[in-house]
Structure 1
């Protein structure tokens, strides 16, 4: 029996005419397991408020600072690499890539910085992408320009766009304001490129994708599940994201980041 692929090809070449061998090898490539073709699952998580729930708003959109810290500790202890979209081309060259995204630009997102500062070390470099509604910057309970400049300056945060006013993009016509002006405003504040857009409510369609491509390299939905490369032409503009919820236990979180259903452990 052949011990490796090279020996296998040598044996088959000796036994089969060239044309038959070519057909045989083509079929073999399709049928045999191929590690190079294995589809890597890349989790992209989405958070909203990192704060205690006080009765206002949707409870499941909150994650307490304590739970957020435990979740980041889990990622650190289990060898995940936290990435931002500027690093997308590196996802196949790092161990266990994962993206932490946070929508809406609430003031309580400063709690993320506190956790990151506590956990960072030479072996673990925390990173998150904040998707900001540009016309809401500096409003009550929202991050200010100074906050965004400070966060961008830490090297741990990528500041990206969540549109100008948070409309359903499938129902708007003012794409210039919502997409281009939002991008330019955030870039002016942070002095860094804005390359990713989080669709409000996760809603998109062909028209929205066409408009988004004019200004951004990535578009993010809230379709749950990890990203698996498919070579679909618009795959970078329909990136999935999985909510991390108030009710999620650490076991739920572990399932999510490992590509499983969040409640799978509860059914055993």
Structure 2
């Protein structure tokens, strides 16, 4: 089974974001318009986990599937995005950095860039049909971690979500969108069945690596015209040319850093 599926990556949904999240935020009115466009053009929403499960089992996919994902676990995902998703009857996947949860207590880790949801809000998302999945525990650059720390980041995040929400967690999104063969092997060992990268490409499901599914970045600067073209797979290479060039350049830097750190550990 092969089918091109747009997997959209959102972050914050607010009219008044802090500078730290502004470029990757969207206004609630933008998300509302996106959902109306998808509904009016015959798209059917799936969660990231549902997409992965259907591909693995060979179950039928809708004619025009789309996956909406929201990273980090910001409070406005519950306050602004959830009511719109419910209104338009669209499922979604929220990738949560568990150490950033507002009432994480002794489990707090890393530095969230804005207000985040608490466990009660995450439970309400799950009860509304939203897939609550992992985005690591402290949002580190996973490919820069030693083996033990990497395994702990991945396993602890999954264990916390499953314990607090009472639902299996099989999906992960890589912080910063980056992974490596070593990271993906550890992700599989930690029990994840599918993982989201960035890559800014339409996912060719059934062909690519389920532990490196590309997503398409949605920003505050994404115009309605560009959004429509992206979800239809039109001019994606041109629209994301700059993003891809920066990703390639940064991957070289990261590879060099990981080699140096590996040599130091040895």
TM-score, structure 1 length as denominator? 0.77
Aligned to 1:30: none
Q: State the distance in 1 between where 2:210 and 2:121 align.
A: 29
Aligned to 1:63, what secondary structure does the other structure show? Answer: coil
Q: State the distance in 2 between where 1:151 and 1:229 align.
A: 26
Provide the alpha-carbon RMSD of the alignment. Answer: 2.0
Paired residues in the alignment total 220
Aligned to 1:7: none
Aligned to 1:74: 37
Q: State the distance in 1 between where 2:162 and 2:30 align.
A: 32
Q: Which residue of 112, 115, 131 corresponds with 1:141?
A: 115
Aligned to 2:54: 90
Shift of 1:154: 1.2
Aligned to 2:93: 129
Aligned to 1:195: 170
Structure 2 CA distance for partners of 1:261 and 1:186, relative to 1, 3 Å:
same
| Contact in 1 for aligned 2:94/2:132 (Cα 8 Å) | yes
Aligned to 1:241, what secondary structure does the other structure show? Answer: strand
Aligned to 2:6: 43
Q: Which has the larger radius of gyration?
A: 1
Q: Which residue of 68, 74, 97 corresponds with 1:106?
A: 74
Aligned to 1:249: 223
Q: State the distance in 2 between where 1:263 and 1:44 align.
A: 15
Residue segments in structure 1 that go unaligned for 5+ positions in a row: 1-36, 121-125
| Contact in 2 for aligned 1:44/1:98 (Cα 8 Å) | yes
Shift of 1:54: 4.3
Q: Map of 1:1-268 to 2, 5 A cutoff?
A: 39-88=2-51, 89-90=53-54, 92-110=60-78, 111-120=80-89, 126-138=90-102, 141-155=115-129, 157-173=130-146, 174-214=149-189, 215-229=191-205, 231-232=207-208, 235-261=209-235
> Does 54-63 or 93-102 show the bigger shift?
54-63
Which of structures 1 and 2 has the larger relative contact order (alpha carbons within 8 angstroms, sep 6+)?
2
Q: State the distance in 1 between where 2:187 and 2:238 align.
A: 36
Q: Deviations over 1:161-181 (max 9, x none)?
A: 000000000001202321001
Structure 2 CA distance for partners of 1:47 and 1:187, relative to 1, 3 Å:
same
Q: Deviations over 1:93-141 (max 9, x none)?
A: 3121111011000001011111123223xxxxx1010000011111571
Q: State the distance in 1 between where 2:76 and 2:6 align.
A: 23
Q: State the distance in 1 between where 2:18 and 2:195 align.
A: 32
TM-score, structure 2 length as denominator? 0.78
Residue segments in structure 2 that go unaligned for 5+ positions in a row: 104-113, 240-266
> Does 47-56 or 240-249 show the bigger shift?
47-56
Aligned to 1:135, what secondary structure does the other structure show? Answer: helix
Aligned to 1:242, what secondary structure does the other structure show? Answer: strand
